[in-house]
Amino acid sequence: MSVRVFLGLGSNLDNPLKQLKRAVSALREHSQIEFIRVSSAYLTKPMGPEDQADYYNAVVELSTALSAEALLVVTQSIEQQQGRKYNGKRWHERIIDLDILLYGDERIDSDNLIVPHPGLHERGFVLFPLYELDKNINIPGKGSIDQFMQSELTGEVLRKLDTVL
């Protein structure tokens, strides 16, 4: 049985828009993923250290019969193929970052994966593109996305881009 999934994508290194497009392409081509749609790209302020370049973020909607853990392996493989290096630092610059934001209505808390993604409801850089795709999203354990679309989150989002991913 297929599950509706939303993934967050982010990049601020090595031509970030190109990195987002490469990740979207890899997801579109995966045999066990039905690619549904992608949000606009958003230019956003970095989370954490401010001495890094701004980020480009987007959200993709897909459907898959893969388990959440198997999908995590796919997303990490795409990151590695694009040259992502894990240095143990939190909120550092990166070539590509793919996060499972929502996996159906499930709440998952394992050693490898937490869904809904922690902090999802507090981060404009994923809320804005997620809201663009579906204004009726319910974040399991948190509530309707509408209640999180607050004006203070707009400070993170510098602008919505016209670029097609």
Please confirm, yes or no, whether 54 is among the known catalytic residues.
no
Please confirm, yes or no, whether 146 is among the known catalytic residues.
no
Please confirm, yes or no, whether 28 is among the known catalytic residues.
no
Q: Where are the alpha helices (DSSP H) in 30-67?
A: none
The one catalytic residue among 4, 22, 28, 97: 97
The one catalytic residue among 94, 105, 111, 123: 94
Sign (positive/negative) of CA torsion 32, 36, 40, 46? negative
Please confirm, yes or no, whether 105 is among the known catalytic residues.
no
The one catalytic residue among 51, 99, 123, 146: 99
The one catalytic residue among 14, 51, 84, 109: 84
Question: b/e string for 92-121 if b means 16 or more Cβ within 10 A?
Answer: ebbbbbbbbbbbbeeebeeeebebbbeebb
Residues that are catalytic: 84, 94, 97, 99
